[in-house]
Structure 1
Amino acid sequence: MLAAMPRPATSPSPPGDAPARDRGDACPGTLRLHRADDGSLARVRVPGGLLTAVQAKALGALSESLGDGELHLTSRGNVQLRGLGPDCGAELADRLGETGLLPSARHERIRNIVASPLSGLDGLGARDVGPWLSELDALLCAGGTTAGLSGRFLFVLDDGRGDVDALGGDVTLLAQDDGTALLRIGTAPATARIPGARAPRAALLAAETFLEQASGTGAWRVPDLPGGARSLLEEVVRRLREAGPGTVTTEDRACPPDSDGPATGVVTGPQDSAALSVGIPLGRIAPAQWRSLTETARHRGVGELRLTPWRGVVVPGVERRQAARSLDELGATGLVVGPGSPWTGVGACIGRPGCAKSLADVRAQAAASVGGAGLLPVYWSGCERRCGHPRGEWVDVVATPDGHRISLVRGEERGAPVSVPEGPGGLAAAVAAARRGRG
């Protein structure tokens, strides 16, 4: 019988020194494929998660013709193609370029931008951040120095509702009701209030200033900087004030602790239209499911899909009278279309057989232990790296050489782990008990 799940400590552990980097940034892209145990892997950056129906159809076709047939969503709203052959790189790049998914070979790995998925759709938020997204992506791809950013550096565009602000970006723009924007560096509470029209260029300036301060330090992201986020913000504010008109002030605004992202189901908007929000079990989309999504977007929506950082998909522009029927059709393919799904809150890394570092087939274990609705989120990891793990409060299940280790995580705080030995039975019950918050 599993002992009672220990609660996290009441205070976070002290921060350590900035991590030393003894190798270059090996983050995969579409021009730099990663060799995995199930073949090569390509990570296609999709800024803001925004795909046209034509681009979505092309991604599905590429996965079926060159890879394992499935599309794998990441925690940044990007797409991974797995099971690729060793010699497909040129064809993959050419076909992605034809659809506009590879606008700059020098910058393709640094186009890491997440945006509020429902921005401009549900009448909430302070502004539609779509124009910010387009401008910032164009500025990044045109910049000479921005190509030096690592593939891990993250830009966040929050429309004011606080959903993606909680993801802990390196540079965050947070829309305000008065038309201004707050610029956040890292997760520090200090922010700079700037005119909304200057927001994308301010984000670019912040990234360029980061590169200057990171030079020679091995820092890939803001938390790695020896001087920290506040020092970087102070320098960015100084440069913003010198660069042009418009009042730039500083104020403290705490970063939200966590967010679950858009609820699954029909999302109604201010006009006679709706959006469909669906979840993807374990972030892995089968060909038939992807075709259903792209056909829904093409025939009943505005020809667009929005991938979310919570491994979900939003289909905008569906007529309200068709929304319920369209949602049922997507649910029939195995997608999550309502909060009652047992898959809600269940995540896992790729695990075996795709990853050589993994100690277990954690996706199969997660599928066998989905439990029920209304439980704490759980994330299964095949090794200590915990690739793609969530933020906020969640149950951490890590494969070990002799079983699994389960602990409760709340932000930066982690409870004492409980070990579950290798063997039949017991694991699913232990995970279920942890997700209920008891032994």
Structure 2
Amino acid sequence: MLAAMSASPISPRSPGDTCTRSSGDACPGTLRLHRADDGALARVRIPGGVLTATRADALLEAALRLGDGELHLTSRGNVQLRGLAPDCGTELARLLSGAGLLPSERHERVRNVVASPLSGLDSLGSADIGPWLAELDRLVCGSDRATALSGRFLFALDDGRGDVDALGADLTVLAGADGDAMLRVGNTDAVLLVPAADGPRAALLAAEAFLDAARESGAWRVKDLPADAAAPLSGDVVRRLRNARVPVTPGSHPRPSEARPPAPGPVRGSRRDVALCAGVPLGRLDREQWRLLSGSGELRLTPWRGAVVTGVAPDRVDGLLHSLSEAGLIVGHGSPWAGVGACIGQPGCAKSLADVRAQAGAAVGPAGRLPVYWSGCERRCGHPHGEWIDVVATPDGHRISHVRGDRATAATAVHDDPVALAAAVAAARDARTA
């Protein structure tokens, strides 16, 4: 049964949205495990999603020895380990620390950095932000103040193409075409121009300014600040930069409305070797898929629950593409799994009202124009940004909405009919208007 519903803002918000510290920051990490219905959960922060073969091997060993044997990718390019025993923390920390995945116990939950995954691999960016990534992580891990950031606070490093700039990070550093860097505080179009070499330091100084602005309200993220604290934040950041002798000029740079993931398949740039982009259905990798990806070159996990394999020799490209496709990964256009995402759902989450991953699989059909995300409850954990189709499990079935920004329009209710649900989702993904 289908029923039309009126347009409305997305409500209530997901846990990553409006929050204060009054309830405590329970965001999981490597040292603070979260109890889920399928066992304990660890979230391993991987700045920029960059993984060497050694670190990838350590994650797989942890999943196989201590967890459910799978690697679960997040919307920030991190890895979750699920099905862990509640008393495995010491062994998990030892294993990951030995591989360099835990450089600071005090900072492990605040190393939240997304970065343009194709930076330096093609010709679309204005700069290779690899050095920024290493420097920002070093600065964050060396800052006592940074330990006060919440596990939800997010840095973004954009090489100028606008991909991760659209993800709504708290602080974004963008490479400018003129060789400078632009610092964006929150989601406004306003930016602060600083020398490129000072980009990471400017981001840390801005994070410290946010912490002072959030002292009274307890806001976890920039967008959570009350108006009287948010209004002077930019001016305070400018003051701190100038006190630190960082040249700064206010400017404007429109923030992209849509975050576009790398297209699946080969990426050929100025380098002799090739990169391969692969989508991961529902962000879940088994041991064979993980070994195939991590054993083929350096790995970059993306904020769209995908992976980029770098350093592939040209004569290996066709064979690796075939192997990845045979393993169930998305390496070409037109895959029915392209753009399909879901939270963990039942049985892994006690708050979920449905096994949304199974439902998403049952509803997979021809690739749609818009991405779709299935959520087991109103929290919408891990949902995408920009424009997408929102499918939320309700006590009576599912609600399907067309989301643009923070508003959901043209909502439809589907009650306990898998065929009708699949048809309604397919129609929504191909809709041109809402």
Shorter-chain TM-score: what band?
over 0.9
Partner SS state of residue 406, structure 1: strand
CA distance in 1, matches of 2:87, 2:224: 36
Q: Residue 95 of structure 2: SS of its match in structure 1? A: helix
2:402 aligned partner: 408
Task: State the shift of 1:233 in Å.
Answer: 1.5
- Does structure 2 retain, via aligned residues, the 8 Å contact 1:222–1:228? no
For 1:301, the equivalent position in structure 2 comes to none
- TM-aligned CA deviation for residue 374 of structure 1: 3.6
Match of 1:199 in 2: 199
Check the 8 A contact 1:76/1:308 in 2, yes or no: yes
* CA RMSD, 1 decimal: 2.0
Hey, what's the Cα distance between the residues in 1 that align with 2:19 and 2:351? Answer: 21
Say if 2:368 and 2:426, in contact at 8 Å, map to a contact too. Answer: no
1:270–1:424 Cα change, 3 Å: closer
Equivalent pairs, count: 428
Q: 1:2 Cα deviation (Å)? A: 4.1
Which whole-Å CA distance do the structure 2 matches of 1:19 and 1:92 have between them?
A: 29
Q: Aligned equivalents of 1:402 and 1:5: distance in 2?
A: 14
Counterpart amino acid of residue 77 in structure 1: G
Tell me, yes or no, if the aligned pair for 2:181 and 2:193 is still in contact at 8 Å. yes
2:91 is matched with: 91
Is 2:244 aligned against 1:243? Answer: yes
Query: Structure 1 residues 344 and 291 mapped into 2: Cα distance closer, same or farther (>3 Å)?
Result: same
* Structure 1 residue 162: Cα displacement: 0.3
Q: Which of 410-419 and 64-73 deviates more?
A: 410-419
Equivalent residue for 1:358, pick from 335, 352, 361: 352
> d(CA) in 1 for partners of 2:403 and 2:409?
6
- Do the aligned partners of residues 19 and 166 (structure 1) sit closer, same or farther apart at CA in structure 2, a change above 3 Å counting? same
**Cα offset, 1:3, TM superposition:** 6.0
d(CA) in 2 for partners of 1:112, 1:27 = 12
What are structure 2's unaligned runs of at least 5 residues? none
2:201 counterpart SS class: helix
The whole-number CA distance in structure 2 between the counterparts of 1:132 and 1:434 is: 40
Superimposed CA distance per residue, residues 36-65 of structure 1 (whole angstroms, 9 cap, x where no aligned partner): 000000000000000001100111111011
2:39, 2:85 within 8 Å by CA — same for their partners in 1? Answer: yes
In 1, the alpha carbon distance for the partners of 2:335 and 2:10 equals: 33
Find the partner of 2:377 among 383, 399, 423.
383
Q: 1:395 aligns with which of 376, 386, 389?
A: 389
Per-residue CA deviation, residues 305-363 of structure 1 (Å, 9 max, x unaligned), is 00000000001111122212211111110011112100001000000000000000000
Whether the 8 Å CA contact 1:5–1:434 is kept in 2: the answer is: no
CA distance in 2, matches of 1:339, 1:249: 42
The correspondence of residues 261-280 of structure 1 with structure 2, limited to 5 A, is 261-280=261-280
CA distance in 2, matches of 1:126, 1:294: 27
Partner in structure 2 of residue 232 of structure 1: 233
Change (3 A) 1:3 1:371: farther
Aligned residue in 1 for 2:41 = 41
The Cα of 1:285 is off from its aligned counterpart by 0.5
Partner amino acid, structure 2, of 1:211: L
Provide the residue aligned with 1:74 in structure 2: 74
Query: Which string of whole-angstrom CA distances, capped at 9 and with x for unpartnered residues, describes residues 275-296 of structure 1?
Result: 0000000000111100111221
| 1:372 and 2:366 aligned | yes
Contact (CA 8 Å) 1:5, 1:437: kept in 2 or not?
Answer: no
Structure-2 separation of matches of 1:62 and 1:408: 38
| Alignment correspondent of 2:216 | 216
The aligned amino acid for 1:398 is V
Q: Secondary structure at the match of 1:109?
A: coil
Cα-to-partner distance string for 1:52-89 (whole Å, 9 max, x where unaligned):
01100111111011000000000000000000011100
1:27 and 2:21 matched: no
Q: Percent identity?
A: 64
Cα distance in 2 for partners of 1:424, 1:328 equals 33
